[in-house]
Amino acid sequence: MKKTKSLRIFGHKVRKLEDLTGLLPKYTFSAKGKQMEPINLIILGNLKNIEDHFLDRGWYEAQKLRFRSALKGLWAGIFNKSYPEGPFASSFLGTKPFRIGFERPTHTNTFRRRHHLRLWKTPHKLKGKCVWAGTISYDKSIGRESGGFWPTHHVAPTLSWEQSFLARSLGIKSPKHLRLSHPEIKQSSNGDTYISDGWALVLDLSQKKLAFEEVHNDALQAVMQRAPAHYHNN
């Protein structure tokens, strides 16, 4: 794999959120070392609490990419079937593969379209809380990768809108954000164009129980109906 900027081996204990700006890598990479999506998500908390919050709010933990799960995903994609815990393609932060991923199907309940995120545990702590870096995006369709033969998901370009959906799905009305880089329009490794405003959504999920608002599926569907047109493309 092409050598890229790696996560720091030794962590930092920081007191201010802004201190993370210079500590976190800015992009993720494919197994071939090609740039994928920018880091646009920061979560605070331990793994157990993070899992509980997502699973309690209608998200599914993605299965590991293995021969059987890849075959099932291929079948679900071709025949437009449901696979709410389908696997993700490999993605690296430096040389580290993502630790855990979550996904949420749309109301059409097909593997072709899904909200999804990947998380990497960093060695840093913010006021004693573990810091996770991640990517959040929306898979709008399945097709072939650019210049290749293998099928892949294609992401919707507006990453900031997916950040808003994630916060809303967890019942967070006024989330925090941290500037990690400059706004940009780029292509990821599979040829998809993305639009990044340079901000990362910050979620503190360090507590077992949080006073988040209850969110019903019909409310989230109403949010999706106001999404940019490319969210509704098959």
pLDDT tens, residue by residue, 93-115: 999 999 999 999 998 999 999 99
CA distance 216 to 123: 35
Predicted pLDDT at 234: 44
The residues near 31 (Cβ < 8 Å, ≥ 6 apart) are: 1, 90, 92
Predicted pLDDT at 190: 84
Spatial contact of 40 and 200, defined as CB atoms under 8 Å apart? yes
Q: Exposed, middle or buried by CB within 10 Å (0-12, 13-18, 19+), for 134?
A: buried
Residue 45 phi/psi, 5° resolution? 140, 170
Give me the residue spans of the domains in the chain: 26-232
Averaged pLDDT of the chain: 87
Predicted pLDDT at 3: 43
Ranges in the chain, pLDDT < 70: 1-10, 145-149, 209-234
CA distance 36 to 135: 10
Predicted pLDDT at 123: 95
Predicted pLDDT at 129: 95
